[in-house]
Structure 1
């Protein structure tokens, strides 16, 4: 899969099921935060309720999610991000086809989760199928199918969960207050850096989001893979890179860095986001049937 995806022995870390549990909880938080009725959310569901609210009910992040974000916010520094990109371009982690990669991710299912038995492969297929049903172009369907494959990082060189899942944000400039649990950035050394802590940081006005260092994780990783190894259009690259960049596409932060292209990409990412979040409410796809038809 990527500049350098040889199968290597992964470092010790929590199980894949732990990662899936964290990722699912983050999605649940984002579902509620993006819903216009989120203030009325409860811990129970009722017959006939909106499918968009029939996920695990978290009005605020759970302790497990808070712990993830605290570690992420402390460790996602400019220094770490530069090192992560250097490692990306200088090593091969594994080589595999799309279906092989999806089946590898299938081991991330959390069997202890009381609210869902869906695996990563089912989520990817659901997203792609929802896009297909709505008549979206084939390149967009393909993007839905692969958008989370960057979570393979968990098996190949991740330092934990904090550099795989979670909302993304730029490093090298002041951390925006709208980032979830933004108070935990106080332990990040960049928050006290004379340049990195300023509004513009190492960037210039309207330099374009392409030139920002976004926090390293599955979005940024897969973006760099497909940018060099696919013919997907810029719109697809934006969907992959920015689908977890909630401070930007939902909260309206970091507009000062946007150029004309970014305004166009913002609409595309907003169009894609519901298929990522809400397709989990659809009936699970039959993986075997879809694989045979490919």
Structure 2
């Protein structure tokens, strides 16, 4: 253009140049779309699920359209649950005392129950049927993969996908030194303060010795107003156990750790009980837990994935966030 114009281009020419540049950009976009479309049939599963990482990190808390329209009333039907589920909660509510929870935490800090990889732990869970869950009778690794794959399908960040895979890994407690399933699975709740009526089957707490303890039956109990859930002792089980394992051994972000620790704390993240114990940090973590809960609860379907086909992808994911291959459980 410099050979033609000895003076700066007119506004008309500048406008025409702008149009040509925009047209060129549009053509590049069309060609890219055409390339993506024609090569779609040969893409691997990883390519199909790959999205811009910045967008994934930015929008990870936004629910997909599928989970916005799902019939939530079809899940957690405890009033219609079988006797196995009801009996479980009666035992859990009677035995989850302050004294037991203190001892459980001492045991955790002073014992190494086993040493293995994360994947070996997942395979071990195949032998467990969760007696507290009214929504599924599939193996634990099936549920783990269902949850992780649902999160992966929606293009959520890789750390979010890993939470889906390992959120129930703490159920390994059942094979170690648990007293039964009552101190491994089921909804969690604070001990050391008044039991909320928003906990499932609240009447069964009357058999718990802490129910009549003058201190433990008060609203705040051994805690204080807005002390923060980090200072609250939640009923011991797979959530607390895996939270401490992940906190010690992984580089997962705080939101991921909150998802692991609180995903069974339904009285809080679903019924909004115990808000008077929350601090500002908990308000942010609540958003993360609610974002994860949709995948944990509503991914429980009859579909089973081919474990061996998915294994390489998730081994890579595990290695990314757990630097040490062998974990002390």
Partner of 1:28: none
- In the aligned structure 2, how far is the partner of 1:151 from the partner of 1:122? 14
- In the aligned structure 2, how far is the partner of 1:36 from the partner of 1:134? 13
Spell out structure 1 runs of 4+ moving beyond 4 A: 50-59
TM-score normalised by the chain length of structure 2: 0.70
Post-superposition Cα deviations, 1:160-219, rounded to whole Å, max 9, x if no partner, equal 110011110000000011111111111111111111110010001110001100000111
- In the aligned structure 2, how far is the partner of 1:116 from the partner of 1:195? 38
Query: Greater Rg, structure 1 or structure 2?
Result: 2
Residue among 218, 225, 228 paired with 1:208: 228
Whether 1:287 and 2:307 are equivalent positions in the alignment is yes
- In the aligned structure 1, how far is the partner of 2:259 from the partner of 2:129? 24
- In the aligned structure 1, how far is the partner of 2:126 from the partner of 2:85? 22
Residue among 187, 209, 230 paired with 2:250: 230
CA 1:139/1:36 → structure 2, altered by over 3 Å: closer, same or farther?
Answer: closer
CA 1:36/1:141 → structure 2, altered by over 3 Å: closer, same or farther?
Answer: closer
**Structure 1 position 36, deviation (Å):** 11
Q: Spell out the pairing of 1:256-271 with structure 2 (5 A cutoff).
A: 256-271=276-291
**Structure 1 position 134, deviation (Å):** 0.6
Q: Spell out the pairing of 1:216-255 with structure 2 (5 A cutoff).
A: 216-255=236-275
CA 1:74/1:105 → structure 2, altered by over 3 Å: closer, same or farther?
Answer: same
Q: Spell out the pairing of 1:64-79 with structure 2 (5 A cutoff).
A: 64-79=84-99
- In the aligned structure 2, how far is the partner of 1:79 from the partner of 1:98? 31
Whether 1:96 and 2:116 are equivalent positions in the alignment is yes
Residue among 184, 187, 193 paired with 1:173: 193
**Structure 1 position 57, deviation (Å):** 6.4
- In the aligned structure 1, how far is the partner of 2:148 from the partner of 2:174? 23
Q: Spell out the pairing of 1:50-129 with structure 2 (5 A cutoff).
A: 59-108=79-128, 118-129=138-149
Unaligned runs of 5+ in 1: 1-34, 38-49
Unaligned runs of 5+ in 2: 1-66, 316-329
CA 1:36/1:194 → structure 2, altered by over 3 Å: closer, same or farther?
Answer: farther
| Cα RMSD for the two superposed structures | 2.4
